[in-house]
């Protein structure tokens, strides 16, 4: 059973044995007698969850993929970024990429491998997305500079600047764009500093489109530096909607630091390319919920206009996968990817945007959801 953020889980003794979890591994909680309690955190949790998925029949996984695609279409989504977690063989990843290619919407397959050679062989310019630099706030594993107010510790850092710089430089040499998961300010600093090092060596990152996923507890200088070197920020606005604000989970974990989180509007206005997403299944696949969250941010100065929010979910999001010449706008010569809503978003009360119904979804000019 995974926590909602996926960064910790609980497994019974049978599951621990089936998955071959080492009871002495870091991240395995133990009781007073030194026996595993069943709670797993950090890398040991990620490995256990990925290994469990691989025990499922391939037919079941394909059926789940098709159901997820239909859910996305019903939510008005025409492009998914499918982040494939866990270190897998090239052959297994290639099969998943092929399966994704026949789904009834655009799928950008992104393996979370740290093997640049494997990523190169798979053929996509982008990879990663959830290459973990740290964990999550909910599990208290996001790497932060000050202690969590409702628990001890400052989270976990899985990759440091030096390790990231080596990965980024190798990827840049291969012409690939890796994305890394960084939530806490300490993790964000490692990722930005590593990309700055690569930028100094190469002169520019413009052709690479490097990205950081989440970018939640970013300092003002992080936003300025990210904009300066051209980082793409894959952010999840619904995180603020679900866990921000007074007495929200973020405030419980971080105290006053919670008001300076998920600064999507500031990042966009300072020149970062902000790309909206859901991090599903962490939050449900819904661009409308994301747009609603951007327009209704708990911090008034961070509230976007409808037009700004739409950019994050259309033309700017398309740039992350080098697809801005194919999709993201309604323009002659581009894919006819479009959504028909029951109402114009400009005519809806800000607090009702998430409730607007999707009437029709087209992908490449074909109706994939709804009726004409």
pLDDT digits (tens, 9 = 90+) for 173-186: 999 999 999 999 99
Whether 368 maps to a domain, the answer reads: no
Same domain, 249 and 107: yes
Distances from the Cα of 165 to the Cαs of 183, 189, 303, 322, in angstroms?
18, 12, 34, 23
Rounded CA-CA distance 317/271 in Å is: 14
Whether 167 maps to a domain, the answer reads: yes
Whether 69 maps to a domain, the answer reads: no
Distances from the Cα of 18 to the Cαs of 15, 41, 48, 290, 291, in angstroms?
5, 18, 10, 38, 42
Whether 108 maps to a domain, the answer reads: yes
Whether 1 maps to a domain, the answer reads: no
**Average of pLDDT values for 359-368?**
98
Whether 67 maps to a domain, the answer reads: no
Same domain, 301 and 199: yes
Task: State the residue range of the domain holding 296.
Answer: 79-331
Rounded CA-CA distance 78/339 in Å is: 8
Rounded CA-CA distance 193/198 in Å is: 9
Closest by CA to 277, choosing from 70, 116, 130, is 130
pLDDT at 152: 82
Same domain, 294 and 162: yes
Q: Is the pLDDT of residue 338 over 90?
A: yes
Which pLDDT band holds residue 363 (cuts at 50, 70, 90)?
very high
Rounded CA-CA distance 176/182 in Å is: 19
* Six token digits for residue 271: 């020149």
| pTM for this prediction | 0.92
Whether 350 maps to a domain, the answer reads: no
- The answer to whether the beta carbons of residues 189 and 144 sit under 8 Å apart is no
pLDDT at 90: 78
Same domain, 258 and 316: yes
Same domain, 24 and 157: no
Same domain, 20 and 116: no
Same domain, 114 and 27: no
Domain total for the chain?
A: 2
Q: Is the pLDDT of residue 69 over 90?
A: yes
Same domain, 146 and 202: yes
Same domain, 22 and 118: no
* Six token digits for residue 346: 């400009």
Rounded CA-CA distance 326/48 in Å is: 38
Same domain, 167 and 45: no
Q: Is the pLDDT of residue 85 over 80?
A: no
Specify burial of residue 80 (Cβ count, 10 A radius: 0-12, 13-18, 19+): buried
Distances from the Cα of 117 to the Cαs of 89, 194, 320, in angstroms?
12, 20, 21
Rounded CA-CA distance 105/73 in Å is: 8
Whether 357 maps to a domain, the answer reads: no
The enclosing domain of 115 has a CATH number of: 3.20.20.140
Calculate the average pLDDT of the chain: 94
Q: What is the pLDDT of residues 208-265, one digit of tens each?
A: 999 999 999 999 999 999 999 999 999 999 999 999 999 999 999 999 999 999 999 9
Same domain, 28 and 167: no
Q: Is the pLDDT of residue 203 over 80?
A: yes
β-strands 36-41, 28-30: how paired? Answer: antiparallel
Same domain, 146 and 251: yes
% residues pLDDT > 70 (the chain):
99
pLDDT at 91: 84
């Amino acid at each position: 059973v995974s926590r909602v953020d996926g960064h910790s889980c609980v497994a019974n003794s049978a599951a621990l044995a089936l998955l071959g979890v080492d009871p002495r591994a870091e991240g395995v909680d133990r009781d007073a007698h030194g026996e595993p309690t069943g709670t797993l955190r950090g890398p040991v949790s990620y490995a256990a969850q990925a290994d469990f998925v691989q025990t499922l029949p391939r037919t079941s996984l394909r059926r789940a993929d098709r159901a997820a695609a239909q859910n996305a279409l019903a939510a008005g989504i025409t492009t998914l970024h499918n982040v494939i977690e866990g270190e897998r063989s090239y052959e297994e990843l290639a099969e998943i990429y092929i399966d994704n290619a026949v789904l009834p919407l655009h799928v950008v397959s992104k393996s979370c491998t740290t093997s640049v050679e494997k990523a190169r062989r798979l053929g996509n310019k982008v990879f990663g997305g959830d290459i973990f630099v740290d964990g999550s706030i909910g599990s208290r594993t996001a790497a932060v500079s000050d202690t969590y107010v409702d628990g001890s510790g400052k989270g976990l850092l899985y990759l440091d600047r030096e390790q990231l710089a080596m990965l980024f430089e190798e990827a840049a040499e291969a012409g690939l764009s890796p994305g890394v998961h960084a939530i806490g300010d300490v993790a964000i600093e490692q990722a930005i500093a590593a990309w700055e090092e690569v930028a100094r060596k190469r002169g520019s990152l413009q052709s690479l489109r490097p990205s950081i996923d989440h970018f939640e507890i970013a300092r003002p200088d992080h936003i300025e530096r990210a904009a300066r070197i051209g980082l793409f920020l894959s952010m999840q606005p619904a995180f603020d909607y679900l866990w921000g604000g007074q007495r929200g989970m973020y405030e419980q974990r971080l105290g006053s630091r919670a008001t300076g989180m998920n600064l999507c509007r500031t990042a966009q206005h300072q020149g970062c390319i902000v790309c909206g997403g859901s991090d599903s299944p962490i939050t449900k696949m819904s661009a409308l919920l994301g747009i609603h969250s951007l327009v209704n941010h708990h911090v008034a100065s961070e509230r976007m206009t409808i037009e700004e929010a739409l950019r994050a979910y259309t033309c700017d999001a398309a740039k992350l996968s080098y697809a801005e010449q194919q999709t993201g706008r309604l323009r002659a010569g581009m894919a006819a990817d479009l959504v028909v809503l029951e109402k114009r978003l400009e005519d809806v009360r800000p607090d009702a945007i998430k409730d607007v119904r999707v009437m029709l979804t087209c992908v490449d000019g074909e109706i994939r959801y709804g009726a004409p």
